[in-house]
Amino acid sequence: MSDEHTQTGTGWPQPAGPARPDGPAGEPDPRPDAPDPDELSPLSPQGSPPGPDEDEAASGEPAEGVAAVAQPAATVSPWRRLSSATVMIGVLLGLLGFTLVVQLKTTSTDSSLTAARQEDLVRILYDLEAREIRLRQDIAALEESQRQLRSGEQGRQAALEEATRRADELGILAGTLPARGPGLTVRFEAGAAKPISAMRVLDAVQELRGAGAEAMQISGGDRATVRIVASTYFLDGENGSLVVDGRRLTGPYTITVLGDPATMRTALNIPGGVVASVAGDGGNVIVEDREVAEVSALHKPRPLEHARPVS
């Protein structure tokens, strides 16, 4: 603690000599706008009786002599005692309180780190770095597994698409799905002498299969329709009717077939083929091309009892 500090207590060197006179009872100088002697004459000796200048400025009136200094507090109203310096002090102290509280609050919010010692901070930092490395490894591992899962998902998706496609194909082949596409309708009209025999229809079906037919159905005169699949059988029924897969159809019969129309038409029209034999029996076969034929009848699949897939 320096000497000058102990003298003033305000951190400012006290000018040589006794202190300047204060107001009565130790109050701050109550006179408004009281000029500081330092300000008026910095070099003048301190502690001298106040000069006329100071009195004049203090009372706001022309000089009345030294007597005015004796009781200045009594002559001014309380509000006028709020000199600019007092206001300034108030403002500064208010600011101090404000900053103090703000700083206290700020410090109390994150006191854990600011109050920590250096070794603790180093240890915390070390821990954090180790944790960061661990977390980075975790991230890498998780990204790797995510990548694997994503590729696995893509593979599964492709497999699912493939399986769906195959299921569609097989469903059409097995007759469990309706199908549409280019094809033919083949209409068998019996002649007066003989009805259309099951053998002729079976011939036609085989011929069409040989020519690349992909889906077929046969419908009778009463609109009953049966899907023709690998296991479909044809029998001659009573009164010239036809039994297909246990259902009884009456003529005329119409086979709707999906496949390449030109090939199938050629196959049906070959010499000694279906058209020729039916015509020989006195019947008639009408083959029509269809841009979009529809095979909508479904075959009910039979549950497999004995056969098991070999995988």
Task: Output 14 or 41, the one with its CB closest to other proteins.
Answer: 14
Task: Output 90 or 210, the one with its CB closest to other proteins.
Answer: 90
Query: Taking the complex as a whole, how short is the minimal distance between the CB of residue 122 and other proteins, in angstroms?
Result: 15
- With contact defined as beta carbons under 8 Å apart, do 93 and 43 qualify? no
Query: Taking the complex as a whole, how short is the minimal distance between the CB of residue 63 and other proteins, in angstroms?
Result: 23
Task: Output 98 or 126, the one with its CB closest to other proteins.
Answer: 98
Task: Output 102 or 140, the one with its CB closest to other proteins.
Answer: 102
Query: Taking the complex as a whole, how short is the minimal distance between the CB of residue 77 and other proteins, in angstroms?
Result: 15
Task: Output 1 or 67, the one with its CB closest to other proteins.
Answer: 1
Return residues touching other proteins (CB under 8 A).
Answer: 1, 5-6, 8-12, 14, 19-20, 22, 26, 28-29, 36, 38-39, 82-83, 85-86, 88-103, 105-107
- With contact defined as beta carbons under 8 Å apart, do 223 and 296 qualify? no
Query: Taking the complex as a whole, how short is the minimal distance between the CB of residue 111 and other proteins, in angstroms?
Result: 12
Query: Taking the complex as a whole, how short is the minimal distance between the CB of residue 88 and other proteins, in angstroms?
Result: 5
The sign of the CA dihedral 246, 249, 255, 257 is negative
CA–CA gap between residue 209 and residue 207 (Å, rounded): 5
Query: Taking the complex as a whole, how short is the minimal distance between the CB of residue 22 and other proteins, in angstroms?
Result: 6
Task: Output 25 or 304, the one with its CB closest to other proteins.
Answer: 25
Provide the greatest CA pair distance for the chain. 160
Task: Output 19 or 163, the one with its CB closest to other proteins.
Answer: 19
Apex CA 266: angle with CA 243 and CA 299, to 5°? 30
Structure tokens at 241: 């009717």
Helix locations, the chain, DSSP H: 3-8, 37-40, 52-59, 67-70, 72-75, 84-109, 111-114, 118-174, 198-210, 261-269, 274-280
CA–CA gap between residue 151 and residue 290 (Å, rounded): 44
Contacts of 278 (CB under 8 A, 6+ apart): 188, 196, 200, 284, 285
Query: Taking the complex as a whole, how short is the minimal distance between the CB of residue 62 and other proteins, in angstroms?
Result: 25
